[in-house]
Structure 1
Amino acid sequence: MKDLSILFENKDCLVINKPAGLAVQGGEGIKTSLDSLLAENYDPRPLLVHRLDRDTSGVILVAKNKEAAARFSSYFAERSQGSQIRKLYLGICSKTPQPSSGVIRLPLEIKGKTKESETRYRLVSENPGIPCSLLELELGSGRMHQIRRHLAQINCPILGDDKYGDFGLNKTLHKSIGLKRLLLHASRLIIPEEGIDITAPLPEYFAPFSLTLAGVFSHDT
C-alpha cells in the first residue's frame, strides 16, 4: 500500500503502523492524512474507528465496512465498561517516575469539562546519562493528549513534546543528539474479542537514546 506500512489485514480491518507527522484526518493546512491515503488506495475507503495524535507513531486500526466499524468502535468506547481491549504505548520521558510503576489518576479538562482519566505505566529502562527513561504506558481512558498531559503533570514529560514538554531540555537534546520528534509510540493493540494482538516496531529515531529494549514486546506483558 502506497506510503503506509500494513501490520495486519483481514476481511474486516487493516492495522497500520502510522508514521509520526501523519495526521489521521484532514483539515486546515493538512495536505496528506491517513484518511486521504486510504481513499487513494481502497474502494470503498476504510473507516476510522479511533485516533492517534499526529506526532505519535504506531498502531492504528481502520475498519473495512460499516458493520465492522460499529463493532470496533464499540470496543474502543467501552474499554472502561467491560471490553478487554488494550492500547499500549512506549514513551521516552525526562527523569524517572516514582514509584517506577503505577497508575496516574488525574482529571483532565476536555472542552471545558473535567473528565476522570487514568494512565498506567511501567518503567522498562533508564538512561541516567541524559537522564531519561523508557516507559510502557497503557490507557485506562481515552482523553485527548492523555499520556502526554499525565506525564507532564507528574514532572516527567515525553521528550520532544512541543506542547506539554520540557522546552529547554528538548532544545538541548535537539542540538546535542538531533531530537526532532515526539518520543511516543503506539506499540501494541490487543483486541481479544477479535483475536487481534499486533505490535509495531519502534521507529529508528528512538535509537540515539541507547535504552535497553529487550523484552519490551514480549507477549506476557
Structure 2
Amino acid sequence: MKLVIVNENEAGQRLDKLLAKYLSEAPKSFVYKMLRKKNITLNDKKANGNEKTALHDEIRFFLSDETFDKFSKKNEDIPKINKSRKLQVIYEDKHILLLNKPANMLSQKAKSSDISINEEMLAYLLESNQITSEELRTFRPAVCNRLDRNTSGLIVAGKSLTGLQTMAEVFKDRSLHKYYLCLVSGEVAGEQTIDGWLTKDEKHNKVQISREYTEGALPIHTRYTPLERKNGVTLLKVWLITGRSHQIRAHLASIGHPIIGDSKYGNRKVNLKYEASYGVKYQMLHSYQLVMPQIKGDLEYLSGREFTAKVPPIFENVFGKVFDVNAGCNSGS
C-alpha cells in the first residue's frame, strides 16, 4: 500500500487528474477500474474521480510496488547542477525564485538534449532539498519568462503552484514592468517612446519592424532613456512596454541604433570592432530590473518591490569607469 498526502501544489484539482500524474503510464480505464474496486481510495472512502482534492487529503493506492512502479513515469530528465556554472540567485522565498541568467544559456530547452536555466533551476531545488523527485511527479516548478539565449539577466521561476500562477499572470497582463540595459551604436539624445508593428518569420526566427500596419503584424511599444553617451555609443535603459519576440533588438535597429554584438540585427563592422577590442561575442542586452505591480493573495508581500540583476563582466569591460551600470544593481529592494 502506498499513501499520498495531498500537498499545497496538488490541492484543488480533480482526483482523476491528480491520479493521472502519479500513474502517468497507465490507461485511464485502469485508473477508473482501481477506483471502482476501491484499490484507490480518498480519505479511506470509495471515490469516482471527479472529487476536488483538498490539502492533507489522504489517497491510498492498494497496488503492489511492481504495479505502481510500472505505471509511474520516472523523472530521469533532471540534470545535475553544473558545478562550474553556479546559479546566480537574486531573490528566493517559498513561492518564487529570481535568477540572473548568463548569456549563451537557453531559458527553456528546445529539444530533449538541451540544458537550460529551467533544468538548472530544478536541479538546484533538488540539490537543496526544496523538492523531491517524488513531488515532481505531480508538480514541476518552471521559469515564467523567457530571454533570448544570448540575452542575460532576470529570470523568474515559480517554486509553488501559487507562485507559478501569480507570476505567469503578471507577465501575461503586463502589469509587471521590465527594464533592460543595452549598448547601442550611435549617440542617442533624449528619452523617447517608439511605436511600430512587428511581423515574425518563424522559419528563419527573425522579425521585421514597420511603421505601418501589415497583415498579421503585432503592435509594439518601446521606451528608452539614454544614460551615457561617448565615442559614438550610448548606454540605454529600455522599458519593454510590449513583450514581443526580439522586440528591443529589432526595434532599435530599425531606427538606426542596433545593439552592439547583435549578429542578427546589428552592424557587422561595429560588431567586429567590439569583438576584436573587448571580446564581445553576444548582443550587449541585459534584463536588469523588474518592478512588481500590486498583487493580491498569497504573494501580496511582493507588491511594489524592485529587483535588479548585476550586469555581466563584459559590460564593465566595455563601459569601464564611464558607465556606472551596477550602481544599485544587486538585489531586491
Q: TM-score range by the shorter chain?
A: 0.7 to 0.9
State the alpha-carbon separation in 2 of the partners of residues 152 and 216 from structure 1: 27
Bigger RCO (CA 8 Å, 6+ sep): 1
Give the one of 300, 309, 317 matched to 1:208. 317
| In structure 2, distance between residues paired with 1:56 and 1:78 | 23
Q: Percent identity?
A: 31
1:120 maps to 2:223: yes
Using the TM superposition, name which of 23-32 and 11-20 deviates more.
Answer: 23-32
**Aligned residues of 1:23 and 1:33 also touching (Cα < 8 A):** yes
- Report deviation, 1:178: 2.1
Deviates more, 1:143-152 or 1:57-66: 57-66
Compared CA separation, residues 214 and 161, structure 1 to 2 (3 A): closer
2:233 maps to 132
Question: Which residue in the other structure is 2:92 paired with?
Answer: 9
Counterpart position of 1:108: 198
Q: Which residue of 1 aligns with 2:185?
A: 94
Q: How does 1:1-221 map to 2 (within 5 A)?
A: 3-28=86-111, 31-42=114-125, 43=131, 44=136, 45-79=140-174, 83=175, 85-97=176-188, 99-110=189-200, 113-128=216-231, 131-193=232-294, 194-195=302-303, 196-210=305-319, 211-213=322-324, 217=328
2:78 aligned residue: none
Distance 1:30 1:206, change over 3 A: farther
Cα distance in structure 2, aligned partners of 1:20 and 1:190: 22
Residue 217 of structure 2 aligns to a residue whose secondary structure is: strand
Distance 2:178 2:249 in 1: 15
Shift of 1:176: 2.5
Partners of 1:171 and 1:214 lie apart in 2 by 23
Runs of 4+ deviating beyond 6 Å = none
1:36–1:154: structure 2 CA closer, same or farther, 3 Å change rule? same
Q: 1:136 to 1:120 in 2, by over 3 A?
A: same
| Deviation of 1:96 (Å) | 2.2
Residues in 2 aligned to 1:206 and 1:152: alpha-carbon distance in whole angstroms: 20
- The 1:123–1:29 alpha-carbon spacing in structure 2 relative to 1, beyond 3 Å, is farther
- Give the TM-score normalised by the residue count of structure 2: 0.59
The one-character-per-residue Cα deviations of 1:65-85 (angstroms, maximum 9, x if unpaired) are 222212111111111xxx2x2
Deviation of the 1:209 alpha carbon = 2.4
Counterpart residue identity of residue 178, structure 2: K
Range with greater deviation from structure 2 (136-145 or 168-177): 168-177
Task: Select between 45-54 and 69-78 the one with higher mean Cα deviation.
Answer: 45-54
Q: Structure 2: which amino acid aligns with 1:14?
A: L
User: AA paired with 1:121?
Assistant: Y
- Deviation of 1:197 after TM superposition, in Å, equals 1.2
What is the SS of the residue equivalent to 1:105?
Answer: strand
For the Cα contact (< 8 Å) 2:222–2:241, is it kept in 1? Answer: yes
Deviation at 1:181?
2.2
Secondary structure in structure 2 of the residue aligned to 1:185:
strand
SS in 2 for 1:31: coil
User: 1:185, 1:214 → 2: CA distance?
Assistant: 11
Contact 2:311 2:326 (8 Å CA) reproduced: no
2:184 and 2:257 in contact (8 A); partners too:
yes
Query: CA 1:96 to 1:21, structure 2 compared with 1: closer, same or farther past 3 Å?
Result: same
Aligned-partner Cα distance in 2 for 1:30–1:201: 29
Change (3 A) 1:171 1:29: farther
Distance 1:74-1:29 versus aligned 2 partners, 3 A rule? closer
Number of residue pairs matched?
211
Secondary structure of the structure 2 residue equivalent to 1:156: coil
Q: Is the 8 A contact 2:144 2:164 kept in 1?
A: yes
Indicate the SS of the match to 2:119. Answer: helix
| Inter-CA distance 21–29: structure 2 relative to 1 (3 Å threshold) | farther
Whole-angstrom distance in 1 between the partners of 2:112 and 2:161: 29
CA contact (8 A) 1:120 1:137 kept: yes
Task: Kindly state the Cα deviation for residue 29 of structure 1 after the two structures are TM-superposed.
Answer: 8.6
